[in-house]
Amino acid sequence: MKYVPEPFRIKTVESIKMTTREYRQNAIAEAGYNTFLLKSEDVYIDLLTDSGTNAMSDAQWAALQMGDEAYAGSRNFYDLEAAVQEVYGYRYMVPTHQGRAAEHIMSRLLIKPGDYVPGNMYFTTTRLHQELAGGAFVDCIIDEAHNPYSLHPFKGNFDLAKLERLVREVGPGRIPYVSCATCVNMAGGQPVSMANLRDLRRWTERHGIRLMLDNTRTVENAYFIQQREPGYKDKSIKEIVREICSYTDGCTTSGKKDGLVNIGGFLATNDEEFFTESKAQVVIYEGLHTYGGLAGRDMAAFAVGIRESVATDDYIRYRVEQVNYLGEVLTAASVPHVVPHGGHAIFLDAKAFLPHIPQEQFPAQALASAIYVETGVRAMERGVVSAGRNKDTGENYMPKLELVRLTIPRRVYTQSHLDYAAEGIANVYRLREQVRGLRFVYEPKQLRFFQARFEKIK
């Protein structure tokens, strides 16, 4: 098992609390067996999400001190704009406080009621904003993406036959854009290939349809292209990122992932008219177009983070290989999980892990609780609880994938943290028959996974 050593050393440390099993049993019971309701202080290693949990560099902390907090025309805005042009290659940029705010603006401007927006699997906030604007999301990802054990190297790819079918059914006039995500989150952080992007570009041009990128994980995706796609092993991550963006008309971006900051996002485009309209929208929902809901210092740290993410290939190699290392250790312990390993997280297969718990008793939710009690590691359910209920029938959606996500924050944890987590999870696997199912004691109507409470079934 290969661990790529960290391309940095540690200058500031933050203490984390080690607790006893008894303490954690009480804490998770008080949290209603929902890891979202645990106090961060009661968590030893936090693998809930990689969103906004990044450790900033000394250069980013220094940049914070250089914040220009002018209401209009902050120098940090111009620097962020230059970083976006340099690294991603888009001409125009509108800052937003995070990714979903950019999705909101883009969806409002481009989608009309009755439109269809094809994408490579849905993302929660992306789909919600498409629906709020009156559009319908249509999944056009390849079938392999829905199979946790398919070894396809680019499970984020579009199936062009599915796009062709949609355009034949509804016509190109009802499709304002194709929404393409890099390193598809809900498929397990699975990349899209450059060949697929090129085909997609040709297809959208032929039909006069825009191609918009969810650029949140493009740097992670570029690493997989470099490693797996013929013709790219001698290209730098920076070159590959530029090429990915060059096939698209614009993007929405959450800076809380690849951008190496704790808050921030933007919308970018090469289309001047769309840019002008976006600036008119951002003042309504976020703030003036030269800060978009961010402090000057946030934009300063963000600009440095964007440049750092591609400055050398060392950072992203370490980042993605660290995720892979955790997967390899779990493979050696025979713990069932999604393969190939994605760019930001390892997803445990709770159906295979806990075959004695029926899906109605929330095996992934039960597993995330058991992992916390055993190890103090916080993970997240991605299964039937997250999927919610069908609005018309009231029945639970029963998704094929019943997963627990172990998400790795960037530049935060070391090899020994990951070894500790994997060893604890392997212990839970050994004692898996002792894990029991859960039932609801409180179920919120929407996005229930955040605040639901459960009890153990005796």
Ligand X SMILES: *Cc1c(COP(=O)(O)O)cnc(C)c1O
Least distance from ligand X to the Cβ atom of residue 382, Å: 13
DSSP SS3 for 332: helix
Closer residue to ligand X, CB minimum distance, 244 or 428: 244
Q: Confirm or reject binding of residue 123 to ligand X (CB under 6 A).
A: yes
Check 24, 100, 155, 382 and give the catalytic one: 382
Catalytic: 449? yes
Least distance from ligand X to the Cβ atom of residue 225, Å: 17
Quote the tokens at residue 172: 């190109």
Residues with Cβ within 8 Å of residue 326, at least 6 apart in sequence: 341, 346, 406, 408, 418, 421, 422
Closer residue to ligand X, CB minimum distance, 258 or 374: 258
Report the distance separating Cα 299 and Cα 60, nearest Å.
10
Least distance from ligand X to the Cβ atom of residue 34, Å: 20
Among 176, 189, 250, 265, binds ligand X (CB under 6 A): 265
Q: Can you say whether the dihedral through the CA atoms of 379, 104, 136, 187 is positive or negative?
A: negative
Q: Confirm or reject binding of residue 326 to ligand X (CB under 6 A).
A: no
Least distance from ligand X to the Cβ atom of residue 262, Å: 11
Q: Confirm or reject binding of residue 254 to ligand X (CB under 6 A).
A: yes
Count residues near ligand X (CB under 6 A): 16
Check 155, 257, 319, 378 and give the catalytic one: 257
H runs (alpha helix) in 185-341: 194-207, 218-228, 237-246, 272-285, 296-311, 314-332
Among 32, 67, 95, 99, binds ligand X (CB under 6 A): 99
Among 210, 257, 319, 405, binds ligand X (CB under 6 A): 257
Restricting to residues 160-199, which ones interact with ligand X according to CB under 6 A?
181, 185
Q: Confirm or reject binding of residue 248 to ligand X (CB under 6 A).
A: no
CA angle 230, 205, 249 (to 5 degrees): 80
Q: Which stretch binds ligand X (CB under 6 A): 24-32, 33-41, 121-129, 233-241?
A: 121-129
Query: Residues for the chain: how many in total?
Result: 458
Q: Can you say whether the dihedral through the CA atoms of 339, 369, 380, 263 is positive or negative?
A: negative
Check 224, 274, 429, 449 and give the catalytic one: 449
Closer residue to ligand X, CB minimum distance, 185 or 309: 185
Q: Name the percent of the chain in helix, strand, coil, to the closest 5.
A: 45, 15, 40
Check 44, 123, 224, 247 and give the catalytic one: 123
The position carrying tokens 């929330």 is: 362
Report the distance separating Cα 316 and Cα 295, nearest Å.
27
Restricting to residues 388-447, which ones interact with ligand X according to CB under 6 A?
none
Give the residue among 118, 133, 224 at the shortest CA–CA distance from 172. Answer: 118
Catalytic: 50? no
Q: Confirm or reject binding of residue 122 to ligand X (CB under 6 A).
A: no
Bridge partner list, 382 = 403
Catalytic: 123? yes
Indicate the residue whose CB is closest to ligand X: 99
Q: Which stretch binds ligand X (CB under 6 A): 95-103, 106-114, 191-199, 408-416?
A: 95-103
Label the pairing between strands 265-269 and 136-139.
unpaired
Least distance from ligand X to the Cβ atom of residue 436, Å: 32
* CA separation, residue 231 to residues 156, 191, 195, 240, 318 (Å): 19, 16, 11, 11, 22
Give the residue among 98, 102, 120, 99 at the shortest CA–CA distance from 110. Answer: 102
**Binding string, 195-224, against ligand X, x = CB under 6 A?**
-------------------x-xx-------
CB 401 within 8 A of CB 144: no
Among 256, 289, 382, 410, binds ligand X (CB under 6 A): 256
Q: Which stretch binds ligand X (CB under 6 A): 29-37, 188-196, 198-206, 254-262?
A: 254-262
Check 115, 214, 249, 349 and give the catalytic one: 214
Least distance from ligand X to the Cβ atom of residue 181, Å: 5
Least distance from ligand X to the Cβ atom of residue 310, Å: 18
Among 48, 56, 77, 100, binds ligand X (CB under 6 A): 100
Q: Confirm or reject binding of residue 98 to ligand X (CB under 6 A).
A: yes
Q: Which stretch binds ligand X (CB under 6 A): 123-131, 281-289, 346-354, 375-383?
A: 123-131
Residues with Cβ within 8 Å of residue 78, at least 6 apart in sequence: none
Catalytic: 124? yes
Catalytic: 214? yes
Q: What would the DSSP string read from start to end of 68-114?
A: ---SSS-HHHHHHHHHHHHHT--SEEEEESSHHHHHHHHHHHH--TT
Least distance from ligand X to the Cβ atom of residue 285, Å: 13
Report the distance separating Cα 344 and Cα 324, nearest Å.
9
Q: What would the DSSP string read from start to end of 5-58?
A: PPSS------------HHHHHHHHHHTTT-GGGS-GGG-SEE-S--SS-PPPPH
**Dihedrals φ, ψ of 406, to 5°?**
-105, 100
Least distance from ligand X to the Cβ atom of residue 212, Å: 12
Number of other residues whose CB lies within 10 A of the CB of residue 69: 10
Catalog residues that contact ligand X under the rule CB under 6 A: 51, 98-100, 123, 125-126, 181, 185, 214, 216-217, 254, 256-257, 265
Catalytic (active-site) positions: 71, 123-124, 214, 257, 382, 449
